[in-house]
Amino acid sequence: MKQLIIFDPEKCCGCKRCEKICSWVHDQVFSKARARVRTIKWETEGVYLPLSCFQCETPFCMEVCPVGAIDKDEMGVVIIDEERCVNCRLCLQVCPFGMIDFNPVTRQVVKCDMCKELGYKPQCVEECPAEALRLAPLDERAGLLKRRAAMETLRKQREMVLDKTTMD
Amino acid sequence: MYGWAGTILTIDLSKEQIIKEPLDMATAEKFLGPDGIGLKLLWERVPAGTPPLDPANIICFGSGPLTGTFCPNSGKMSSVFKSPTTGLIGVGAAGGFFGPELKEAGYDLLVLMGKAKKPVWIWIDDDTVEIRDAAHMWGKTAWEAIDIIQEEVGDVPTITIGPAGENQMFNAHALIMRSRSIGGTGAGAVMGSKNVKAIGVRGTKGVQVYRPDEFMKKCKEAKDKIINNPVYASFARYGTPGWTPTLITQGVMPTRNFQEGIFPEGEEFLDPETPCKEIFVKSDACESCVIHCGHWCEVRSGPYKGTKTEGVEYYAEYMFGPYMDCADWGFIVKASVECNSLGIGFGSAGMIAWLMELYQRGMISKEDVDGLEPTWGNQEVILELLRKMAYREGVGDILAQGWEKAAEKFGGAEFQPIITRLASTECPRARMDVALSHLTSVRGGDHNKSLPYFAWVCSPEYIRKNWPEWPKETADIYSPIGKPEIVDWTEDWKCVIDSLTCCYWSTSVLQAGGNSPADYAELLTYATGVEYDEEKLMEVGRRIAVLERAFNVREGWGRDVYQMSRMFIDKAFPRGPQAGVKADMKVINKMVDKFLERKGFDAKTGYPRKETLEQLGLDFAIKQLKKQGRIIE
């Protein structure tokens, strides 16, 4: 079944264990700089957003690759063929979400492969202590976003009602 | 290199030199990490009797062989220097992301020596190390300096000082990121004395381990041990504020400068569920943490509405709560933010409570406090005094010189909660674990060195089972029996933890079934390739603990340094479970004697015995102390 990693910024506690395990799985070293999943932090606002490739339906990176080194596999995961890649970094330029990373040591473009080698069991999901990363069937994400949008509307309405009550 | 990064980075600020030396493996094996290796450097590089704010003092920051790896709760760092607060050894640990990042940049230890001619900040970007001009940051708060650094080099972990550090306030702290600190013993003042405003680091090299498969397997076990522990759920939800119910039951909640041990008027305030409802937004963690005891906090109503920060915990809760007679979580957040950005350690905020008691007793007037009225719970006055201390204005200048100078001016030394030269963080009157651990703490009397939390967190059966050689009263915190044993063990263990560098909370508090020295020895062996077992690891701890105490002896502090404030000896709580209990110095001194003898020190003089140092391979210390005549042969 095609699956996606769902990121929940409200649960993320910012420990970066996802980054550590990612660099371990792919490079056998603990290095946040080499991770393909990143926890982006706004420390003054307390907003922590763990992110990795969304595995787009129509990936720009795949479209622009001049040597056809990027492809989607049977599980819907966008994979870079390292042998074919010439490191032109065009994919890095066009990804609208900045999800293609550049490994500063091997000097290669890299991206999340959903831990294909480990049977598509993303280790970042396994190791998250706050359950901020979750694996879900592809269809579920839309449902989650809808539910969240509905909750947000509800919360705002309730706040408005409460504000009014206190004003009266 | 495995586990360790392999390089010590020294920055000579006077000569503007950057020196990179390989880490000596024999030293690394014997002294493990920053708490130990830094201590050895301090001993070797700083001559005896050096004033703490002299350029000849050094300050070491670093992380140990497990930091930066996947070992749970290893995102820590430690610091070693001679303390301007106490004149004793200054040691401290902090969480956040600086330690792991320094390691990933390829350094075990960063040593600052000398003094820069003008304000500077240090930028470490893997192999590139620069001493940069900090004229545009000097005078700014620590948080403003972080903004400037992040503007210049991107989102990197930092150590900064606020105006309190620049002005060398006696216990200014070094702020790690925005809300964690190496506090208590004046790391910020030492940085300020060297004209160093900030340090920023970025590392891409990463950390490698020697036996990866076994290491990862053991990491998983270690994680399971933490999260399956009975204490875990409370700790993950509340963090340290989850302890208040225990302290209330014991009747030792520090209230109004230790005048009371209960705070009934703040019953709702002290309920751990209250901050969850009022200010906690979500959990927050240091690097590699599986507990996440921190919180992101936001004030939603009242005069401090909109104030937000990470990391409000028990210390802030009691200091700006019962200790100053406030019961307002909004104010706790506000005061924490002020302390962090001004660079003031919470310990010196306690001076305000002392002033309040003097005012309550009519010993000082409004004029003494620049026209401010330090009545209990007066939030505006507290915030204004914090600001005055950091900028050394008026009465703030007197307070910023330390407890002794302040008592010379105002009197009232008998109301200062000083134990072994440092302001105490807990009440030592009834609890014997607090009394002994605070009195004999090498950095001065607080809970950061040897307080055996597990004495009251774990069941007596657990302690009996694991340490059958200790007396059966060991788990009874009100009994003096067994305390020398447990405090002695805890001190050694804390030195190991601060050198690994791992989080104290992943071990001692969660000790019942949590990760033991044997577990860490295994992790360390797999990470570094150097064989360790429980005995060898605890010996490393003992070596560091003994050398720290010997350092204090070298600096002139013998048995008479272990002094308790008269306020704990002459006065008692008027009500609550500990009503009428005073610190019984006869009993306590007997514990101290026994403790010192256990540690291999002479109880009468407080000097180390030669064979103690010999057994631990501390020959360089023997040579020095012999010269000074401060060793028992």
Q: How far apart are the first and last CA of chain B?
A: 40
**In contact, B502 and B95? CB cutoff 8 Å:** no
Task: Give a yes or no: residue A168 inside a domain.
Answer: no
What integer pLDDT is reported at residue A163 of this predicted model? 58
d(CA B241, CA B595): 31
Supply the pLDDT for residue A6.
87
Question: Averaged over B505-534, what is the pLDDT?
Answer: 89
Compute the Cα dihedral for B595, B600, B603, B606 and give only its sign: negative
B292 touches chain A (CB under 8 A): yes
- What is residue A75's three-state secondary structure? coil
Stretch B532-540: mean pLDDT: 97
Give me the pLDDT at residue B231, please: 87
Answer whether residue A162 is part of any domain: no
B7-202: CATH topology? Aldehyde Ferredoxin Oxidoreductase;  A, domain 1 (3.60.9)
Query: For chain B, what is the mean pLDDT?
Result: 96
Instruction: Determine the pLDDT at residue B462.
Output: 86
Closest approach of chain A CAs to the CA of B560, in angstroms? 44
Higher pLDDT, B270 or B459: B270
| The Cα angle at residue B503 between residues B166 and B437, in degrees rounded to 5 | 80
Render pLDDT for A45-91 as a digit per residue (tens, 0 to 9). 888 989 999 898 889 999 999 999 999 999 999 999 999 999 999 99
Identify the pLDDT of residue B311: 84
Total of domains in chain A: 1
Mean pLDDT, residues B602-611 taken together: 98
Q: Does B447 touch chain A (CB under 8 A)?
A: no
Residue to test with chain B: of A12, A20, A47, most B Cβ within 10 A: A20
pLDDT of B123 > 60? The answer is yes
In which band, very low, low, confident or very high, does the pLDDT at A168 lie, cut at 50, 70 and 90? very low
pLDDT tops 80 at residue A142 = no
Q: Which range, of A102-106, A123-127, B307-311, B504-508, averages the lowest pLDDT?
A: B504-508
Q: Which residues of A touch B227 (CB under 8 A)?
A: 129
State percent of chain B over pLDDT 70: 99
3-state secondary structure B291-359: CCCEEEEECCCCCCCCCEEECCCHHHHHHCCHHHCCCCHHHHHHHHHHHHHHCECHHHHHHHHHHHHHH
Paired tokens of A57: 């339906």
Distance, in Å, from the CA atom of B456 to the CA atom of B473, rounded to the nearest integer, reads: 12
Closest partner residue to B290 (CB to CB) among A24, A43, A129 is A129
For B125-148, the pLDDT digits (tens) are: 999 999 999 999 999 999 999 999
What's the confidence (pLDDT) of residue A164?
A: 55
Flag if A15 and B75 touch (Cβ within 8 Å): yes
Choice among B13-22, B23-32, B240-249, B459-468 with the minimum mean pLDDT: B459-468
Least confident stretch, B96-100, B287-291, B385-389, B459-463: B459-463
Q: Indicate if the alpha-carbon torsion angle A29, A33, A34, A37 is positive or negative.
A: positive
Q: Which residues of A touch B75 (CB under 8 A)?
A: 15
Greatest distance between any 2 Cα atoms in chain B? 68
pLDDT higher than threshold 80 for residue B33: yes
CATH code for position A111 = 3.30.70.20
Asked whether residue A21 is domain-assigned, the answer is yes
Across the interface, whether the CB atoms of A28 and B227 are under 8 A apart is answered no
Per-residue model confidence as pLDDT tens digits over B407-426: 999 999 999 999 999 999 89
* Window from B64-68, B337-341, B453-457, B476-480 with minimum mean pLDDT: B453-457
Q: Is residue A87 part of a domain?
A: yes
Residue B508, pLDDT > 80, answer no
Q: Provide the percentage of residues in chain B whose pLDDT is more than 90.
A: 93
Cβ–Cβ < 8 Å for B123, B132:
yes
**Confidence check: pLDDT of B471 > 50:** yes
Sign of CA dihedral B436, B291, B175, B254: negative
Domain coordinates of chain B in residue numbers? 7-202, 230-412, 422-513+533-628
Q: Taking 90 as the threshold, does the pLDDT of residue A8 lie above it?
A: no
With 60 as the cut, is the pLDDT of residue B331 above it? yes
Confidence band, pLDDT 50/70/90 cuts, at residue B509: low
Which residues on adjacent β-strands are paired with residue A30? B207
- A105/B288 Cβ within 8 A: no
As for the ipTM of the complex, it is 0.94
Same fold, B7-202 and B422-513+533-628: no
Task: Say whether residue B216 is in contact with chain A using an 8 A CB cutoff.
Answer: yes
pLDDT at B576: 94
Cβ–Cβ of B282/A27 closer than 8 Å? Answer: no
Given CB atoms, is B557 within the 8 Å cutoff of chain A? Answer: no
Fold category of B230-412 in CATH: 1.10.569
Would residue A166 count as lying in a domain?
no
* A122 located within any domain: yes
Q: Is the pLDDT of residue A167 over 50?
A: no
pLDDT in the model for residue B510 = 64
**Which of A14, A27, A31 faces B104 most closely, judged by CB atoms?**
A31
Give the domain extent around A118.
3-137
Q: Which of these, B195, B192, B190, lies nearest to B85 by C-alpha position?
A: B190
Question: Chain B contacts of A129, Cβ < 8 Å?
Answer: 223, 227, 285, 289-292
Cβ-contact B187, B86 below 8 angstroms: no
CA distance B22 to chain A (A): 21
Is the CB of B204 less than 8 angstroms away from the CB of A28? Answer: no
For B422-513+533-628, CATH number out of 1.10.599.10, 1.10.3720.10, 1.10.10.10, 1.10.3470.10 equals 1.10.599.10
At residue A10, the pLDDT reads 86
- Rounded CA-CA distance B399/B627 in Å is 37
Contact B128/A at CB under 8 A: no
